[in-house]
Amino acid sequence: MEVQIAVAKVNKYATSESGDTLEIVERPNGGLSVVLADGQTSGRGAKAISQMVVRRVIGLLAEGVRDGAAARAASDALFTERQGKVICTLNIASVDLHSRTIVLTRNNPAPVFICRHDRIDAISDESIPLGTSRNVRPLITELAIEPGLFIAIYTDGLTHAGARRGNPMDVSSVVRSVIEDQDPSPQLLADTLLAHAVRLDENRPADDISVLILKVTPRDGDNVRRMTLRLPLDGIRA
């Protein structure tokens, strides 16, 4: 099998810094974790918050701390520093080769979509961002790694797209339309969701938007890990 991960990420219109931070860390017992945080408001202040949260979570995961404990620690640190005045959403998606599961940790009102065999489930239980109080609990979902699994995670810029113009985003129906295709790549799903949201915002995203997709495929090829990253250089023209 192979786990494929795709990310598509765009800044709020006319801001040079995204309040969303996404980073990846190798787990010391095998596998990796993707950590996505969205700091309150946008621009430089939000970036500092989401970077602080991601740094802390990644540092703990790298030491072997479990995902839920890392999320709680980041929340406590943020609450202590800002006394509940600044909050930050957090999603962790871990491919844990030790337990052979995918572990999803969520402190984010935005739901997570899980697709298996043409069935799409939204995990939408109430979930509170980090830094809101002393006792913030993450919601944890653990899934066996099996071919055909598709997971969609995103920051609230996606859900809020178009809302101001009275034409809100229906994430579920976009996910369904892509999943029903012939074996879509995770990048196609990430790009389609993002493009749909940007269109609803009339090409001027009202907020930072990040989309993270995981897919498990039955592919049994070489044992090469591969990564590709594309970084558009806004303002540095050819």
- Indicate which single residue of 40, 51, 99, 132 sits in contact with a second copy (rule: CB under 8 A): 51
Q: DSSP character for 139?
A: E
- Which of 2/76 has CB closer to a second copy? 2
- Which of 83/223 has CB closer to a second copy? 223
Token pair in block for residue 174: 């976009």
Which of these, 79, 54, 59, lies nearest to 136 by C-alpha position?
79
Place of tokens 């946008």: 42
Q: Is 227 in the site for a second copy (CB under 8 A)?
A: yes
Q: Is the dihedral of CA 138, 162, 10, 119 positive or negative?
A: positive
- Indicate which single residue of 62, 140, 143, 163 sits in contact with a second copy (rule: CB under 8 A): 62
- Which of 26/170 has CB closer to a second copy? 26
Quote the Cα angle for 138-50-20, to 5°: 100
Q: DSSP character for 190?
A: H
Q: DSSP character for 130?
A: B
For the CB of residue 183, give the shortest distance to a second copy in the complex, in Å: 14
Q: Contact region for a second copy (CB under 8 A) — 1-9, 65-73, 110-118, 176-184?
A: 1-9
Place of tokens 């997971």: 151
- Which of 20/156 has CB closer to a second copy? 20
AA letter at 73: A
Site for a second copy in 105-144 (CB under 8 A): none
Task: Count CB neighbours of 66 within 10 A.
Answer: 15
Site for a second copy in 180-209 (CB under 8 A): 186-187, 190-191, 194
For the CB of residue 51, give the shortest distance to a second copy in the complex, in Å: 7
Site for a second copy in 156-185 (CB under 8 A): none
Task: Count CB neighbours of 188 within 10 A.
Answer: 15
Which residues lie near a second copy (CB under 8 A)? 1-11, 16-17, 21-26, 28, 30-32, 51, 55, 59, 62, 95, 97, 100, 145-147, 186-187, 190-191, 194, 218-234, 236-238
